[in-house]
Structure 1
Amino acid sequence: MKRFKIEQSDADIVSHGGLALIGQAVKRHTNITREVDTQIPLRHGIKHSDVLKSYLAMLCLGKNDFEAINTIESEFYFMSAMDIGDIPSEATLRQRMDNHAAAFLPIIEKASRDFLINIQPTLEPLKTGHIPLDADVTPMDNSGSHKEGVSRTYKGCDGYAPMPVYLGQEGYCLEFELREGKQHCQKDTPALLDRALRHARQITDQPLLLRLDGGNDSIENIDLVLEHNQVFADRTPVDFLIKWNPRKESKDDWLAYAEQHGRWETPRDGKRVAIFSVDHQRQWKGYEYRVRRVMRLVERTIDKKGQLLLTPEIELEGWWTSLSIDEPAVIQLYADHGTSEQFHSEFKTDLDIERLPSGKFATNALVLGASMLAYNILRWVGQNGLLGPDSPKRSKAKRRRIKTVMQELMYVAARIVKTSRSIKLSFGRGCRSLHAFSAVYKALAYG
């Protein structure tokens, strides 16, 4: 085996050529530069927009800590790609985000929505023709820290319990609200859902299906959807699918009801499954609502290992819905809601934001807002660059993970060639991402 000689080249080579995509997405499809610099006064120093865009670039490379700003390889390329005049130091980045977190947050959240509105992503509907709108709390483990707002979550760890809202099977993020770990998942959720529904209306005209977990089994959420449909009566309706929380319901009573009204199946010896629907009256602020609930009851007299049980085990589940389709289809639609857990994972692991970098709650909320914009840009880049015939060869999929987008398009090495009139990105002869990179760049920069 030959030994390599190690030397340093005079060429300006970067390992994160994909920042050119991020810079074009921010410049051409958001107003973050103008809005943050005009709305928040600054007497002297690096512009607010330069600070925010620098941190956004680091998030798109999977780095959320403020110290990562010291790891930039080529300052010239970094500033050119992100269209900034200067790079903040670690101290400036931290202090600026701490001091202006409350003012920065609504601007960067709006930039995330503006990107989706302007880019108009392709959304694949469900079999019913709906675009799913999935919301669920995802605890973030920040154990061993003394950060503001860290407390015990329902998962049994100390941390935060933010609630994101995802649009479409592709998983674009409309909201990502930071919450204290001890906060109940239903608290402040109606206001969050109201914002998400209004934002979704700006992105797609297709019918929406709101899906929520059992922790959000509240008539208030159903009332919100019905009221929203009244306000937007001229638009396609929003349907809901919410997991029922049985609380103190008697399983024996429901077994007796299922014996009379359920459709029973026996998938194996010792296991019977009944599926049926009931119409239930629910009250809220003096009004009565008649809501359909799809039910599934499972009775086991033999466990999966073949052991006879002394007393039957009864499992009871239900789903509130405005859909009129048959029960198995409703249950399958809710099972697909579990895909949102993958989106949580991409935020936590691929963008590496589970352990938030600041001790201040407002700053960490800003970090989530910036990560939402980074996530949406990377998601769109992956959907449009890594699924077509010119993309690097991989197994067929409907969606690429954020980590894959980083590996194939963000961390792609390129040589920086400066001429009197332009700057060129020169990729290696064997670069398999060249065609995909070029196609996405043209769509962002010239589309």
Structure 2
Amino acid sequence: MEELVLTEPNEETIVEEQAPKKVNVDLGVPKTQRKRLVIIGGGFAGIHLVKKLSKSSYQVVLIDKHNHHNFQPLLYQVATSGLEADSIAYPIRKVLSDHEDYHFRMGEAQEIKPHEHVLVTDKGSIAYDFLVIATGAKTNYFGMENVAKHAYPMKSVAQAMKLRNTILENYEKALLTNNLDEREELMNIVIAGGGPTGVEMAGALAEFKRYIMPADYPDLNIERSKIYLVELLPELLPPMSDEASKKSEEYLRKMGVIIKTETKIEDYDGQVVKTDKGDIPSRMLIWTGGVSAASIPGLPDEVMAKGGRIKCNGFGQVEGFERIYALGDVAQFHSEEFPKGHPQLAAVAVDQGEFLGKHFSRMHKGEDLKPYKYNNKGSMATVGRSKAVVDLPNWKFQGAFAWFVWLGVHLFSLIGFRNKIVTFTNWVSNYFSRDRHSRVIIKD
């Protein structure tokens, strides 16, 4: 047996163990003569602001907890096996790689120190000349702890992948049980929220059930697999027109979706969704029922509006702070037309990001500044193959033409040429084959 030799730590080891953890000053971003503009968030608002600053005279520092921008309107297609994750994700570092003074740091913002002009992240602190908060929105469970614990949100690529894995795994588990009640729980899917995301998710799952399940799971009785769409308000797509609401409900009912409007979800234990209209057995509750602003600690309470949004003037400046701006879902721009803030839509975030990019350019050149004016470009939602609803300011239409318009707008809005080509190719293939090529379970 070898003799175990114990050695005492030397002085150098002791010093290293007792030394205080070093704070990463300015996150390793070199100080230059340019004004430093720090942007928190690589979503629609942050990315389009960065693109507008590509030829600016600012030092641009973008901070996000992910190293990619994800195209949230198509997350449901990743979750339902229609697209792979890299079709809608784009590396943030590629967005402004040709800018001579651009820096990206992957980290999570933890606190703003407005009087010191410092942002604190989990990777260290960074000083700023101007700060832009574009953190978007987060899932709101309205204080229901069990729902937050057991439901499945869909705000990130990772969450969409987890959804896809779990849906497919539940079907696999359903094959292995002879208990009909357990099989029903595994095959049922409940979607909370009848907005665009909920409607699109319900339609995609209905098509999966109709075209994919009979071939992939012939041993399962697909009639026992039910898709529920639960909405608190009297109709679907509350922000859209009555025509869009009625047509989307008509489409979904014909596709076999069970719609429960004026129904409140009260609890969920992972097996049964409890509502004020009765219980629904299901191992899958997809939560698209509400969002709140993803604000950051540090700003005074008086600048915080309902839902966590940050009060801003007409230029996007946080009230009382000349150097801090907010954009997109987290911001509540001062507007007589929208006293509670502009709609929390991707189109608004894009519009505000481009506006603020022009604003900083004008400010640097000493030109007259113009307040933000929202240009309503309309809203739309797809329900399934050749089924969509579109509300434009002066025109409302539904059906196949609306579906092609929806496809074109979303394809054009994707960031990255490769993403556009891959997504278009997948859509063409899915259209003619009615297949979903990405139905694979990928886990750690």
TM-score tier, shorter chain, comes to under 0.3
Structure number having the greater helix percentage? 1
TM-score (norm 2): 0.26
